[in-house]
Amino acid sequence: MVCEQLIDLLVIGAGPAGLAAAIAAKEEGISSLLVLEREKEPGGILRQCIHNGFGLHRFSEELTGPEYAARDIARAHELEIPIECDTTVLSVSPDRQVTCVSPKHGFRRFSAKAIILAMGCRERPRGALCTPGTRCAGIYSAGTAQRFVNLEGYMPGKRVVILGSGDIGLIMARRMTLQGAKVLACVEIMPYSSGLNRNIVQCLDDYGIPLYLSHTVTEIRGRDRLEGITVSEVDSNRNPIPGSEIRFDCDTLLLSCGLIPENELSQGAGVEISPLTSGAVVRETFETSVPGIFACGNVLHVHDLVDHVSNESFKAGRAAAAYIRSASSAETDTADVWKVQDGAGVRGTVPQMISKHPSSDVDLMFRPSAVFRNASAVVECDGVEILRKKSLIFTPGEMAVLTLKKALLDTLSGSCIEVRMEGGSSRG
Amino acid sequence: MDKVITCINCPVGCRMTVTLSDHGEFVSVTGNTCPRGAKYAEQECTLPLRMITAVLPVAGSDTPLSVKTSSPVPKEMIAEIMEELSRVSISTPISAGQVILPNILNTGADLVATRSLL
Amino acid sequence: MIQLDILVIGAGITGTALSRELSRLNATVAVIDRACDVAEGATKANSGIVHAGYDALPGTQKAMYNVRGAQMYPGLCESLGVSYRKCGALVIGFDEADCAALRDLLDRGIQNGVRDLRLLSQKEALALEPSLNPEVLCALSVPESAIVSPYEMAFALADDAAVNGVSFSFDQDVTGISRLEDGTWQVTTSKDVFICKVLVNCAGSSGADLHNMISDQKLHMVHRRGQYYLLDRAAELPFSRTVFQCPSRMGKGVLVSPTVHGNLLLGPTAEDIPDPLDTATTSDGLSEILKKASRTWPALSVRTNITNFSGVRAHLDTDDFIVGPVPFAPGAFEAIGIESPGLSSAPAIAQDLSAMIASYLSLERKSSLRPFPKHPKPFHEMSDEERTVAVSTDPEYGRIVCRCEVVTEAEIRQAIRRPVGARTIDGIKRRTRAGMGRCQGGFCSPRVAQILSEETGTPLLRITKDGGHSYLLADTIGSFLKGGHR
């Protein structure tokens, strides 16, 4: 017989999202709470992100990943927030029953008044790319390689090609080079990199690593260990162009081809998932379609900056605390919410719903579907413009944030809020 | 002499053309859209600086130690500094923030632990 | 030099099934394989179908062994604790020629002794499998068709054999075979020399090569590669049955089938290639699968693809199995050309070969057997109560290593400690499913490598993905920094 433990708030994941959410909830007075973490230490992916550049927005200084995480962990300890590591959540039910398992405490079942999902994301594996060739050793997602190097102290290989120019791929190009490997190329299927300019300059250019845009890996060779790959240029439909093949002799291929929110538990709880973000559909309080279940951080939508993850998660933590205190969700009547829609040139706006009487300002977060220069992001409520933000550039590699003031929202009625891009050149 | 560099301050990524004197000194910059770009261009052409982060092996520990320079160091010294770091011998315990190697190669920057290892 | 009664060359499905039969006899038996583990050849990369037996021409070895073998599967899987599901199959046709071919198949099936075969109309077929292409004109229903995990089957057979005295040895590449004056066989490998009274060639794709080393009646074998897509088990299955298209000269065509683990399998292609070890996938092969499978399943989507793989089947020019003594080579036996339906046939082939060998050596059956140590239920399939008990008995059940497939540290250690235990990352993957899921080992492989290192006393740098030189890691960060590789 498995006993059921009652608890006010259960936070799943002790990465930056879970830590911030738990800190905010505790600061709001929720004392019956528990953070569950599957790794042996809190900190999430930041533990292996040993490069600097974290925390500029939040702390006005540049920290490394472990340093950023250490601040939240210290605050959580100060607030006496219990964090149980080495504990994996196995299931979450729609009525907020959670089962989990750990070597120390065995199999347990909790019944929570509120749950915050903060499980983060995972990398797109080779299978998703359908790259033909052998299935030899030496092909890793960039994050796996990062773990081997930065946390385990092992180098996966000597001669490396990186597929995908997202920030993790770029960071690993520099890491592998600094630690003594030879990085031959970084290959990107799109005509532009989704990584920060700073990373292209400081991770590739600084070390003379060529970036092949509009190229992809078309063959993988090697029986036991990777021996080489072929890279081909792609046309505008991303199909390889015959005759453009370049062969590389390498023993390692790192894949940095996108991140996917890890929502298996959310789906088990019946949480509605957006096909655009691959994360939960939420309202401005970060409450999902299942009452009392909240989501924040990379499990909700993939962020570029941990500072944004923390800010979002503080809000989710406060909202969960408010939910626990009032024991009710915000208005569920559809007449009392605006539905948020992606307009032209916009993808995956979060939140997808906004209450007509929000308790504070609401950030609309989205990505443009292409690069827009000298353009505006425009917010309309039932076709009437309510906010406009101009920028020299909007790019898919950078999440855009538009803040809707509470004072503005309080004056509006209607049923639909739409975000769209206007003007400017766009490409790819 | 002209040199083209990409600005790293924001996603616009301005392609800036820097004019250098015959002695390689910074003269002027075009192509930037803001003063931050001009400042970066001058710095980058005069004395480019970089933070270095790394992981180093630790005697008696399966987990390596992550470290950083306490301030940016000259870019041209990166290889030399990594060489120097490979000679540092480290043993536990170490606490985050601890100086592992003071004033690396007279750069004025210290090598600092970014995590604790007990 | 190792002396024994019987040496089996090849630890695929035929070799392991045979080793289990031989373990029942009073004899010293060893199984060797050139690869690093059981089931490393065609056995690890095929469709996993226990065919009912309608396909092979009546009177062939294939027809006889298929039907007999398939009938042995339910009992064998039950006693070995291997999942087996009689999900049934449909063979579909799109035009009158196909329908005629299906009528032929029905006749063949009846002659071969397959039960419950029935021709279906378009309407009946679509009623059974609504995701089928509505252009389907006719179908053959094969309720006896089943699915099984071929490598799990081989692991269990090997484990059972090993607890009953058969020894297994890997990385043994046979370099020479000769018959000694006393009538025994000397088999030289890359590692050892074996002297045996009986040798059995179950060498899969090397079967003809080994045969030609000991027989003047030369055989020629074609290496036929089959490529596959494997989709995530989170994806909704379009079919509850295995769906074949009309077979051709090159094989049974591209199928769409659920697996016993709830994934969806698409494939195989059939390409004749020179090198039996060339298990690469190709862009042509992969697009051919999509093209053909979409004819069965018009709504086909491989958005949830988790991996592509290929296997090489051993096809003899004679298009039939050869099972029995090697002519003019007393004491040598063989099972070669074991392509599809080889998985289905293996138990029956093993039974016959074992009987022939027992008779040749006048061997008695053992008076008692050690019971097969049934593999514990996977954590993933346990109820909450069972999980509670499992973790309280062994706390390592409380540590989930593979989050996609929910595999615990306890199960990974068990896989290494099995009688024929895992020694590689892929060996763990195929025994436990750790790394088999949607992240393809991204999260769990560092931990799995560590556990393997701990359990086997192998340094982490010597751990391989799948044997040979498939090392996971190049060196420590210390040696790299010291310039060893710069």
Quote the DSSP letter at residue A7.
E
Residue type at position A209: I
Asked if A277 and A364 sit in the same domain, the reply is no
C301 contacts: CB under 8 Å, gap ≥ 6: C235
Strands (E), C165-220: 167-169, 174-179, 185-189, 193-201
- Chain B residue numbers touching C478 (CB-CB < 8 A): 56-57
| Phi, psi angle pair for A248, to nearest 5° | -120, 135
Asked if B81 and B105 sit in the same domain, the reply is yes
- Let me know: does A92 contact A100? Beta carbons within 8 Å: no
Assign A331 a pLDDT band (cuts: 50, 70, 90): low
Three-state DSSP class for C97? helix
Residue type at position A270: G
- Chain C residue numbers touching A240 (CB-CB < 8 A): 283
Strands (E), C86-156: 89-93, 118-121, 138-142, 146-148
Tell me whether strands C221-231 and C193-201 are parallel, antiparallel or unpaired: unpaired
In this predicted structure, the answer to whether residue A241 has a pLDDT above a threshold of 70 is yes
Residue of B nearest to C450 (CA): B62
Question: Where is pLDDT greater, at A79 or C373?
Answer: A79
- Chain C residue numbers touching A135 (CB-CB < 8 A): 279, 307, 309
- Chain C residue numbers touching A104 (CB-CB < 8 A): 395, 398
Both tokens assigned to A322: 């408010």
CB atoms within 10 A of CB C485: 17
Question: Total domain count for chain B?
Answer: 2
A-C contacts at Cβ under 8 angstroms: 167
Assign C485 a pLDDT band (cuts: 50, 70, 90): very low
Nearest to A215, CA basis, from A142, A162, A159, A145: A162
In this predicted structure, the answer to whether residue A236 has a pLDDT above a threshold of 90 is yes
**Substitution target from C34, C400, C407, C445 for chain A, most A beta carbons within 10 A:** C400
Which H/E stretch holds residue C353?
helix C342-361
Residue of C nearest to A119 (CA): C403
Which residues, numbered 46 to 75 in chain B, qualify as contacts with chain C under a Cβ-Cβ cut-off of 8 Å?
55-57, 64
Question: What residues pair up with A273 in beta bridges, in sequence order?
Answer: A280
Q: Mean pLDDT throughout C400-423?
A: 97
Asked if B57 and B98 sit in the same domain, the reply is yes
Which residues, numbered 445 to 464 in chain C, qualify as contacts with chain A under a Cβ-Cβ cut-off of 8 Å?
445-446, 450, 460-461, 464
Least confident of B12-26, C136-150, C320-334: B12-26
CA B41, chain centre distance (Å): 16
Q: Which chains sit next to A, with 3 or more Cβ pairs under 8 A?
A: B, C
Residue A64 to residue B64, Cβ atoms within 8 A: no
Asked if A87 and A10 sit in the same domain, the reply is yes
Q: What is the biggest distance separating any 2 CA atoms in chain B, rounded to whole angstroms? A: 54
Residue B37, in any domain of the structure = yes
C247 contacts: CB under 8 Å, gap ≥ 6: C55, C91, C101, C105, C253
- Give the pLDDT score at C372: 84
Asked if B57 and B28 sit in the same domain, the reply is no
Report the alpha-carbon distance of residue C232 to residue C264 in Å, rounded. 7
pTM of the full predicted structure?
Answer: 0.94
Residue of B nearest to A47 (CA): B115
- Let me know: does C102 contact C138? Beta carbons within 8 Å: yes
- Let me know: does A299 contact A316? Beta carbons within 8 Å: no
Which H/E stretch holds residue A98?
strand A97-102
Asked if A187 and A119 sit in the same domain, the reply is no
B22 contacts: CB under 8 Å, gap ≥ 6: B1
3-state secondary structure A151-218: HHCEECCCEEEEECCCHHHHHHHHHHHHCCCEEEEEECCCCCCCCCHHHHHHHHHHHCCCEECCEEEE
Question: What residues pair up with A230 in beta bridges, in sequence order?
Answer: A219, A247
Min Cα–Cα distance to chain B from C414, Å: 25
Residue B118, in any domain of the structure = no
- Give the pLDDT score at A398: 87
- Give the pLDDT score at A368: 93
Asked if A253 and A129 sit in the same domain, the reply is yes
Residue A196 to residue B11, Cβ atoms within 8 A: yes
Asked if A6 and A23 sit in the same domain, the reply is yes
Structural domain boundaries in chain C: 2-43+151-219+319-361, 85-146+222-316, 379-479
Give the end-to-end CA distance of chain B in Å, rounded to a whole number: 53
**Rounded to the nearest 5 degrees, what angle is found at the Cα of A286, between the Cα atoms of A282 and A292?**
95
- Give the pLDDT score at C486: 47
Residue type at position A39: E
Tell me whether strands A362-368 and B15-20 are parallel, antiparallel or unpaired: unpaired
**At B105, which CATH number?**
3.10.530.10
Q: Mean pLDDT throughout C444-463?
A: 97
Which of A238, A257, A276 delimits the end of a domain? A257
Asked if B10 and B34 sit in the same domain, the reply is yes
Assign A406 a pLDDT band (cuts: 50, 70, 90): very high
In this predicted structure, the answer to whether residue C326 has a pLDDT above a threshold of 50 is yes
Domain C379-479 class, CATH top level: mainly alpha
Asked if A201 and A348 sit in the same domain, the reply is no
Asked if A137 and A193 sit in the same domain, the reply is yes
Report the alpha-carbon distance of residue C1 to residue C4 in Å, rounded. 10
Report the alpha-carbon distance of residue B52 to residue B67 in Å, rounded. 8
- Chain A residue numbers touching B77 (CB-CB < 8 A): none
In this predicted structure, the answer to whether residue C233 has a pLDDT above a threshold of 90 is no
Residue of C nearest to A144 (CA): C442
Both tokens assigned to A254: 């790192």
Rounded to the nearest integer, the mean pLDDT of chain C is 95
- Let me know: does A13 contact A44? Beta carbons within 8 Å: yes
Which H/E stretch holds residue C70?
helix C61-80
Judge: domain C2-43+151-219+319-361, CATH 3.50.50.60.
Answer: yes
Range of the domain at A14: 1-123+259-330
Asked if B42 and B58 sit in the same domain, the reply is no
Place of tokens 């799948």: C466
Burial A21-58 (b: 16+ CB within 10 A, else e): bbbbbbebebeebbbbbbbeebbbbbbbbbbbbbbeeb
CB atoms within 10 A of CB C483: 11
Assign A87 a pLDDT band (cuts: 50, 70, 90): very high
Q: Mean pLDDT throughout A352-367?
A: 94
Q: Which chains sit next to B, with 3 or more Cβ pairs under 8 A?
A: A, C
Report the alpha-carbon distance of residue C191 to residue B68 in Å, rounded. 49
B78 CB within 8 Å of a chain C CB? no
Identify the CATH number of the domain defined by range C85-146+222-316: 3.30.9.10
Asked if A143 and A239 sit in the same domain, the reply is yes
Residue A196 to residue B82, Cβ atoms within 8 A: no
Asked if A183 and A267 sit in the same domain, the reply is no
Residue B57 to residue C478, Cβ atoms within 8 A: yes
pLDDT in tens, A293-309: 999 999 999 999 999 99
pLDDT in tens, A123-154: 988 777 778 899 999 999 999 999 999 999 99
- Give the pLDDT score at B83: 95
Which H/E stretch holds residue A146?
helix A142-147
- Chain C residue numbers touching A106 (CB-CB < 8 A): 388, 391-392, 395, 398
- Give the pLDDT score at A428: 43
Report the alpha-carbon distance of residue C155 to residue C83 in Å, rounded. 12
- Give the pLDDT score at A427: 55
Report the alpha-carbon distance of residue C4 to residue B111 in Å, rounded. 64
Residue B56 to residue C477, Cβ atoms within 8 A: yes
Q: Which chains sit next to C, with 3 or more Cβ pairs under 8 A?
A: A, B
Residue C486 to residue A180, Cβ atoms within 8 A: yes
Closest Cβ opposite residue A395 in set B5, B7, B11: B11
Report the alpha-carbon distance of residue C443 to residue C459 in Å, rounded. 20
Both tokens assigned to A151: 């946390």
Asked if A119 and A133 sit in the same domain, the reply is no
Burial environment of residue A224 by CB neighbours within 10 A (0 to 12, 13 to 18, 19 or more): middle
Asked if A106 and A27 sit in the same domain, the reply is yes
pLDDT in tens, A214-231: 999 999 999 999 999 999
Asked if B104 and B67 sit in the same domain, the reply is yes
Burial C148-187 (b: 16+ CB within 10 A, else e): bbbbbbbbbbbbbbbbbbbebbbbbebeebeeeeeebbeb
Report the alpha-carbon distance of residue C258 to residue C83 in Å, rounded. 13
Q: Mean pLDDT throughout A269-298?
A: 97
Range of the domain at B35: 2-46
**At A199, which CATH number?**
3.50.50.60
Active site residue C211: no
Asked if A56 and A146 sit in the same domain, the reply is no
Assign B11 a pLDDT band (cuts: 50, 70, 90): confident
Question: Total domain count for chain A?
Answer: 3
| Phi, psi angle pair for A393, to nearest 5° | -155, 140
Please pick, among C51, C223, C315, C375, the residue that the annotation labels catalytic: C51
**Substitution target from B80, B86, B101 for chain C, most C beta carbons within 10 A:** B86
Min Cα–Cα distance to chain B from A392, Å: 7
